[in-house]
Amino acid sequence: MGSGSSDFVDYIRIFCKSGKGGAGSAHLMRSRGNPRGGPDGGDGGRGGHVILRGNRNLWTLLHLRYSKHINAGHGMNGGKNRMTGADGQDAIIEVPLGTIAKDDETGAVECEITLHGEEVVLVSGGRGGLGNDHFKSPTNQTPRYAQPGEPGIEGWKVLELKVLADVGLVGFPNAGKSTLLSVISAAKPKIADYPFTTLRPNLGMVYYRDHYSFVMADIPGIIEGAHEGKGLGLRFLRHIERNAVLLFMVPSDCDDIRVEYQTLLKELELYNPELLDKRRVLAITKSDLLDQELIAAVEKELPDRVPTVFISSVAQTGLDKMKDMLWAALNQENWS
């Protein structure tokens, strides 16, 4: 996969500038019939906000790569007859679901977009100034002043995308994750290459029973030392944080299933201990290589306290049982 629209962009810096508020009006009502009329200055309009809006049809942040400066419009000044100035035009940034916004300097998370159509004000526009009508009093019946509008706010923000999926696949590169995904998912939107590797996270929609479905994500690159930034590094691990259930995949022909499972768990724990709170299912892959006698032998070395299923993507065995277990885990049915 080359560059262009196929790039999977999961991190971007943008410069946001909200609009300044309009000034209040200091107008005094004057007419032939009322030459000494009182103040009738209207308020200034609010400056435009910079707003994030969730869009389920977007999969990457690529569209923001070429428009890194986001400017909202300025509020209009107040007018006579207590006319309020128009608000500045908001700048709306459409982002995929699972986008997190952070302050570039502090790294503090400011908001997270998870729903289609959800809107969050990332940078507020300046408030409009009050017109002189607000400042009249028994002792000051003709104030000739009004408030200026507040300035807008500007600064760099970081947008980060975490793949939103219900089930995340965890396993070493030889575990058969992408094979499983291609076999059990009916549709696989192309989420293309990361800029620095030939591997890419794939999302697949898995249809279950009659009309249920869930999203499964193949996240390449859990390898020993990944939590230290080695290998494919932290970016891939970050995607797992959002998954509701983790499907651990260990091939039946590995040296020691329990050790391999523990190694994967350790990687997750070193990266973020909260990942261990997620519900887990263990799939022993490539189980078409085993006869009943070998399966019985393997069962003795399985880790404790994790529901386990023997599957073969090639022979398509055990897949329905695995889906049942994942569905139960996602819905916390009969889940200890």
Of 9-18, 36-45, 155-164, 253-262, the poorest mean pLDDT is in 155-164
First to last CA, the chain: 43
What integer best gives the mean pLDDT of the chain? 82
Give residue limits of the domains in the chain.
1-161, 167-330
Residue 131 has pLDDT above 50, yes or no: yes
pLDDT tens for 185-241 read 754 444 443 333 334 556 677 877 766 667 787 765 555 455 555 544 455 556 566
pLDDT tens for 163-185 read 656 888 888 877 888 788 888 87
Which residue type does 162 have?
K
The reported pLDDT for the residue numbered 192 is 42
* pLDDT, average across residues 124-148: 93
With 0-12 / 13-18 / 19 or more C-beta atoms within 10 angstroms meaning exposed / middle / buried, residue 202 is: buried
* pLDDT, average across residues 288-306: 84
Domain 1-161 identical in fold to domain 167-330: no
Q: How confident is the model at residue 10 (pLDDT cuts 50, 70, 90)?
A: confident
Which of 157, 168, 159, 180 shows the shortest CA–CA distance to 236? Answer: 168
The reported pLDDT for the residue numbered 129 is 96
The reported pLDDT for the residue numbered 226 is 54
The reported pLDDT for the residue numbered 233 is 46
Residue 2 has pLDDT above 60, yes or no: no
Q: How confident is the model at residue 299 (pLDDT cuts 50, 70, 90)?
A: confident
Contacts of 124 (CB under 8 A, 6+ apart): 18, 49, 153
Question: Percent of the chain having pLDDT more than 70?
Answer: 81
Q: 161 near 61, Cβ under 8 Å?
A: yes
Q: What are phi and psi of 265, to 5 degrees?
A: -60, -40
pTM passes above 0.75: no
The reported pLDDT for the residue numbered 314 is 87
The reported pLDDT for the residue numbered 238 is 60
The reported pLDDT for the residue numbered 6 is 37
Pick the CATH number of 167-330 from 3.30.200.20, 3.40.50.300, 3.40.50.1000, 3.40.50.12780: 3.40.50.300
Higher pLDDT, 71 or 4: 71
pLDDT tens for 251-268 read 988 888 999 999 888 888
Which residue type does 129 have?
G
* pLDDT, average across residues 297-314: 88
9-13, 186-190, 322-326: which has the highest mean pLDDT? 322-326
Residue 282 has pLDDT above 70, yes or no: yes
CA distance 39 to 30: 9
Contacts of 215 (CB under 8 A, 6+ apart): 164, 165, 166, 167, 203, 204, 205, 206
The reported pLDDT for the residue numbered 81 is 92
pLDDT tens for 49-104 read 999 999 987 877 888 888 889 999 999 999 999 999 999 999 999 998 889 999 99
The dihedral sign for the CA sequence 84, 88, 89, 94: negative
Higher pLDDT, 278 or 153: 153
- Domain 1-161: CATH superfamily, name plus number: GTP1/OBG domain (2.70.210.12)
